[in-house]
Homo-oligomer: A and B are copies of this chain.
């Protein structure tokens, strides 16, 4: 009965027999359904668009009016795939950063926090998003843990994931990164697909092609955001995948793929950010940035806005949003330049939530709490590497790439242990298990960081997020690692016994509980400090975080040891 009364009320608003709460007059309505832009007055009530006036024969009574002065009015933006954790701030703070940019809905994959805290981590994200001016939907993380060659904080099987099916905020299964498992018919992987067979299943299939790609698609996976070439994306498009055009901090594919978008296939593309760091969110923006890039790249503005809104809503079966029509949510953006949209007003469920890039609603207090996640058995931790040969494997970091080289180097042996050799840019690296206090630790060497002294530590280390440390000497490494643990997680720069800079990330060792501007300043300072120690990389912390990711070639280090990713197995440090 309540539903009927609500519907009656909506109908009265739409019929104009009851005055709307707010009338946006003098708008140029960007109609993503008809593909037109026309003058309109838009009536809002009860969080919904209730009517469209034409300034002539169709008009709406309203209690309040805002004159948009001929500005463009479009539906709010959606991010088709984002790891909120990569913003290094909690969901409410993330919302404060992206809502003023026009993003009113995100489809998030809480894969990082789930690797640390499992179901508890996912619940935390959902809980944090409550009351924020952003609809944060969740795709159930499909790959926790990524492999058995590292130690995650949690493991989620199909039964665990299915427990989220009843949440209205959980839409489907997040990017299935284990594509060999899908193509090989691994029953544990397929059980997860089956658990969400009637929902959107997101893909992640870099470079997959031909029959292997067909097998991946035949499993029911319907999207991909990993294409790096036009040919790769075209094949996926033809095989039925929705293509998410990605512009992340560390993976920028949008401009490369834009030429594939045509009038005939425009409905098959969505925009996504995947991972964006604080500085990028604050300086460039969020989905609005991608819209501007697309338009600058030659895409029709209406098509760009469609990829930013309707297409994504439609793909994820969010039938209540993505267009400005009676009965749909009043999630709206107002901007003045159709060639470079910058939202000057953002409405969410009919409320003005941002103006001129600033959020107007206070981020809600952090409601949910998380337990500490830095559980290291320091008595078992020893950075020394006994000399067991003359030549050893070393990871070769490549600037701005996630892949690494598999090198073999002469060891520098001192007092029976293998030491770093900064003169040759051969640094020590350690990955310390930090979830269960197991005392597990992988040790190795890395080239390409350039540190002449000191050490860097980070609790952000994809995907298992153990504690990764790179340094020129053991005391610096110990200082950095212990400080990161003492902070409850974070990024640390140290030299000898001194901590030079730090970014506390107390929420799962991944996110800060403070404002994004503050996190960004701390991160900037940490990068400067790393540079002063000799770091030659644009962002050594991000580089570190991927040197522990054992699913991207060629040589990586986890808490269980060195992984030859090409052979997909653990290998010894010493080669002779």
Spell out A's residues near B (CB within 8 Å). Answer: 3-4, 7-8, 10-16, 31, 33-36, 38, 48, 50-52, 57-58, 60, 182-183, 185, 187, 190-191, 193-194, 197, 210-212, 214-215, 217-220, 234, 237-240, 262-265, 267-268, 302, 317, 323, 325-328
Chain B neighbourhood of A7, CB < 8 A: 185, 190, 193-194, 219-220
Chain B neighbourhood of A52, CB < 8 A: 214, 238-239
Assess the B34–A268 pair: CB atoms within 8 A: yes
Assess the A267–B268 pair: CB atoms within 8 A: no
Q: Give CA–CA (A182, B4) in the complex, Å.
A: 11
Q: Do A15 and B183 form a contact, CB below 8 Å, given A52-B238, A210-B58, A218-B327?
A: yes
Assess the B238–A16 pair: CB atoms within 8 A: no
CB distance from A224 to the nearest CB of B (A): 13
Which 5 A-B pairs rank lowest in CB-CB distance, beginning with the nearest? A35-B264, A240-B325, A14-B218, A218-B326, A15-B215
Q: Give CA–CA (A211, B197) in the complex, Å.
A: 40
Q: Give CA–CA (A15, B58) in the complex, Å.
A: 57
Q: Do A302 and B264 form a contact, CB below 8 Å, given A8-B190, A34-B237, A197-B3?
A: yes
Assess the B193–A16 pair: CB atoms within 8 A: no
Assess the B214–A50 pair: CB atoms within 8 A: yes
Nearest residue (CB) in B for A306 is B264
Q: Which of B8, B238, B325 contacts A217 (CB 8 A)?
A: B325
Q: Give CA–CA (A34, B219) in the complex, Å.
A: 20
21 contacts between A and B (CB under 8 A): A7-B190, A7-B193, A8-B185, A8-B187, A10-B218, A10-B219, A11-B185, A11-B215, A11-B219, A14-B214, A15-B214, A31-B238, A34-B234, A34-B268, A35-B263, A48-B218, A50-B218, A214-B326, A217-B327, A264-B302, A267-B267
Assess the A36–B238 pair: CB atoms within 8 A: yes
Nearest residue (CB) in B for A182 is B11
Q: Give CA–CA (A268, B58) in the complex, Å.
A: 24
Q: Give CA–CA (A404, B486) in the complex, Å.
A: 85
Most buried by B among A11, A194, A263: A11
Q: Do A217 and B185 form a contact, CB below 8 Å, given A4-B191, A7-B190, A52-B238?
A: no
Chain B neighbourhood of A38, CB < 8 A: 238
Q: Give CA–CA (A219, B7) in the complex, Å.
A: 6
Q: Give CA–CA (A238, B193) in the complex, Å.
A: 37
Q: Give CA–CA (A188, B228) in the complex, Å.
A: 54
CB distance from A167 to the nearest CB of B (A): 15
CB distance from A560 to the nearest CB of B (A): 29
Q: Give CA–CA (A211, B54) in the complex, Å.
A: 11
Q: Give CA–CA (A3, B196) in the complex, Å.
A: 12
CB distance from A115 to the nearest CB of B (A): 24
Assess the B211–A11 pair: CB atoms within 8 A: no
Q: Which of B4, B31, B211, B317 contacts A58 (CB 8 A)?
A: B211
Most buried by B among A4, A35, A211: A211
Chain B neighbourhood of A34, CB < 8 A: 234, 237-238, 264-265, 268
Assess the B33–A265 pair: CB atoms within 8 A: yes
Assess the A323–B214 pair: CB atoms within 8 A: no
CB distance from A163 to the nearest CB of B (A): 18
Chain B neighbourhood of A11, CB < 8 A: 182-183, 185, 190, 215, 218-219
Chain B neighbourhood of A15, CB < 8 A: 183, 211-212, 214-215
Nearest residue (CB) in B for A8 is B185
Q: Give CA–CA (A502, B293) in the complex, Å.
A: 69
Assess the A239–B326 pair: CB atoms within 8 A: yes
Assess the B4–A190 pair: CB atoms within 8 A: yes
Q: Give CA–CA (A57, B237) in the complex, Å.
A: 18
Chain B neighbourhood of A239, CB < 8 A: 52, 325-326
Most buried by B among A214, A220, A323: A214
Assess the A194–B3 pair: CB atoms within 8 A: yes
Most buried by B among A36, A57, A326, A328: A326
Chain B neighbourhood of A323, CB < 8 A: 240
CB distance from A450 to the nearest CB of B (A): 43
Nearest residue (CB) in B for A48 is B218
Nearest residue (CB) in B for A267 is B267
Chain B neighbourhood of A14, CB < 8 A: 211, 214-215, 217-218
CB distance from A221 to the nearest CB of B (A): 9
Q: Give CA–CA (A267, B302) in the complex, Å.
A: 14
Chain B neighbourhood of A325, CB < 8 A: 217, 238-240
Q: Which of B8, B237, B240, B302 contacts A328 (CB 8 A)?
A: B240
CB distance from A523 to the nearest CB of B (A): 41
Q: Give CA–CA (A140, B242) in the complex, Å.
A: 31
Q: Give CA–CA (A185, B6) in the complex, Å.
A: 10
CB distance from A21 to the nearest CB of B (A): 14
Chain B neighbourhood of A302, CB < 8 A: 264
